[in-house]
Amino acid sequence: MKKIGKLSLVLLAGLALTGCSQNSKQNTASKKNATIKITKNNKKPTRMGHLSAQDLSPQKTVAVIVAYAGNRYSGSWNKALLDGKQNGIEVDLKNQSDYSYMNEGSGVAYMVSENAGYTLKQIDGENIYYLFLNGKKLESVTMKEMIAYLNKRDSDKLVNSLAKNAKVNDERLDSNNASPNSTGKKSNLPGDDGLLNVPRELQGTWYTYPADDNKLETIKISQNKIDNGYSSLELHKINAKFANEHLYSDMSKSYRNATKNWGMAQMIGKKIHNINYLNVRTWMQGAGDGIYYGAHTESGQSVIVIGEGAELWTNSVAWKTPQLAQQYKHKKFRDLFYRDDQ
């Protein structure tokens, strides 16, 4: 009986161990199966875009480049992309010769901001794009390479949205009109002596806080236009004899409609307070002195001094970046002439 009892105990223990072993294997298998299932469910295929490098419009070309460079690079390229999403892309065509660091290209600089731009050159039938930032070359890249990069990130919607609101402004100076005091295209309207060519040092996008105003103002000046956010004027010279003999109120309705976005502009021709100023008034404006814009240097930076009034007092200083405008907000400089200096 004792032997049988011992044998029974051994058999029972063996069965118990076998059962535990089977349960352990089943639990382990269950855990493995559960793990595989979760991994399988979490793995999702990458969606590819369908952009093509063929037959791109100028607007879509710009959109592709900004989307590509804005995703790859920080600073002004990324800011151009973010601004483009909100307000639309704007690229200015400039003379490449104005940018000494742009050694490769075909003569045109495509500037998406003051510090970010690109050039292009056709080599063996394919356009090569040269990207620049802060005076340095970032890379050279083909349209196919940019498209491939964006398609991997499913960027169709982004590119199409950017292209829809993209603007391309041709601000290149004609070599025949290189002098800032020369006259551009002339219309057939009475009194028009032709477009005024703005000096290159005044051209660009500028930022300022007007006196007694805490709102940042953006001023865009091109070869023949000025936009201060409130009005956009095409700058024309006026015939002096015509101006002396006619009043705007006496002109026909069709004449007023044709010139409603014209600015009456002239370079003063002599330095006032040691600055050469461009004066801008509305077309055929009688009373009032208009606004003065003068290229200058402050704190080692190229700036525009904005003047007003009969004595040409300084109202504010415009800078090339919003950060500089904020840094020197409402600061008065010793070499400038202010109303309270009298």
H/E/C letters for each residue in 178-237? CCCCCECCCCCCCCEEEEECCCHHHCEEEEECCCCCCCCEEEEECCCEEECCCCEEEEEE
CATH of domain 58-170: 3.30.1460.60
Task: Say what the pLDDT of residue 288 is.
Answer: 77
Angle between helices 58-72 and 76-87 (to 10 degrees): 130
> How far apart are the C-alpha atoms of 29 and 116, rounded to whole Å?
58
Task: Say what the pLDDT of residue 183 is.
Answer: 57
Task: Say what the pLDDT of residue 340 is.
Answer: 84
C-alpha angle with apex 15: 12 to 19, nearest 5 degrees? 140
Task: Say what the pLDDT of residue 174 is.
Answer: 52
Task: Say what the pLDDT of residue 36 is.
Answer: 31
Domain assignments of the chain as residue spans, ordered by start: 58-170, 180-341
> How far apart are the C-alpha atoms of 321 and 206, rounded to whole Å?
7
Which of 23, 250, 203, 14 minimizes the C-alpha distance to 95? Answer: 203
pLDDT per residue of the chain (342 residues) written in tens, 0 to 9? 444 444 343 433 444 434 444 444 444 444 334 333 333 334 444 567 789 888 788 889 999 999 999 999 999 999 999 999 998 999 988 888 878 889 899 888 999 998 899 999 888 878 899 999 999 999 999 999 999 999 999 999 999 999 998 988 877 765 444 444 555 677 788 889 989 999 888 999 999 999 988 999 999 999 899 998 888 999 999 988 988 888 888 899 998 899 989 999 999 888 899 899 999 999 988 777 899 999 999 988 889 999 999 889 999 999 999 999 999 999 999 999 998 876
Given a contact cutoff of 8 angstroms between Cβ atoms, the answer to whether 225 and 235 are in contact is yes
Strand, coil or helix: what is 119?
strand
Q: What are 263's strand-pairing partners?
A: 235, 282
